[in-house]
Structure 1
């Protein structure tokens, strides 16, 4: 299964924020500005509240160029002894074709989405179950992390989770009104066969052909970044945001640095994952929204960290590109 990934040799950014050296994830400077957020194409699901399209002003901030990796999360666990929600509960959700566990460890299937399986012993160290590991996946995104786990990591690192508005603004990479971080077309290249995102190929949920080279997660820098130097803002893993979810949030949203409601029952997730497919979960788009309870964990759920702006802390990726054009 040949993997065709667009090569990238971009400008370096500098680790910053929180405890020096604690979090190796690079931060890119995201310039402040205005953008029209929401679904420009009518692609979204009504219940997700992707509309109306609305203009917001976002202040400059910093965002991880990648999601937090297994290696970075291991450093956090080694330093703090943190025990994740999945470890405490003893199980987590794994996609049915990926399960690596004894039959006795398969606890049941979700009635509404039977391709999700509760697996005893599935956690960040064992993404598909007790018979799997991350020894060869240090540079893959950490998964099976709840919103609570993501917050604990961010606080340890002196960082935070991005707001939903920051996430979408950054995911667009400076492109106005596009479907994906790179434009409107899913595939790239002269022949239209170059994958730009890690999603499900084949017949969902039965057969994944892995045409892009991956059946589960891919390394966090496997695909070229967007205009702000951010890798895989769509596909690979869902990413927790700081906001509580409200499907009507856009109707009366603040125009400057908007945030979600003050309370709620589910937190915003963005970006889709390696399991998204246009026949079921067409949410590998920059406008797509979803949500889950903050204690939810699954084999396709991770996060990236944000931080407030610091003028001398990082390279502004967009500016650096202009200087080297």
Structure 2
């Protein structure tokens, strides 16, 4: 696999750019309330996405009341099981998720997947990043990679999700494209982005694999330095962060994030949620959230979203098999 382009797997069928001119801030109310279920803890990509979408919905006037619930555990499986087992009482709930809903079903981290819930819409894309603590001896990706080459097991890279997840696959893919065996990577899994960050700052891990939006927030807080980003070109929200392509590693990746309803969600309710999210992407409130996080504006809903998930499942299965993560 000479040139690994996960971006083609993770986003090609989803792209529907909504980055055109933002429309008026105030919109006609779409619904009274929305409850967001977040399958991980505070500080992770799911948490940031749900809260950013909730912020835009409320500030644009599309929804009166927005509530959030973090339910971490089981690599996202606890929240997924909760939505499935309490379907009737969860019609007012949107669960945020992303590529891992496919990856974790493939590697058996969870025993359910996107077919067990109702796909509503893909909304944003988030590049990945590798970061180190602000006081790290690794000044650049080249420094980190040189240390890895010398002692692969001595350079742990962590992430806020389970082994075999995207936080694991992305650095493994980077190392593979750089010319190393991805299975040499010592990956340390944490159950949330905040816990992973604590592991980085305490020295438990040498570097952290995370979403770019999370990396930007941490860098702006002065806690980390971004060594590389999986974007095709530098991102406006993080202009000082080099791309891996600049660093000689021909690797790109962008992770979609979207929303799912309970199984058996009535079609009119599914459409109402999808229309609400589509309308949100045209608002100034959303443009502010999107640009602050360095997200790509993506929207794909209903059966088109479901078809995309099915295609990505086949692509990810091949990728994970080729990299030795599944058989």
TM-score bracket, normalised by the shorter chain, equals under 0.3
Between Structure 1 and Structure 2, the one with more helix by share is 2
Q: TM-score, normalised by structure 2?
A: 0.24
Q: TM-score, normalised by structure 1?
A: 0.24
> With CA pairs under 8 Å and 6+ residues apart, which has the higher RCO, 1 or 2?
2
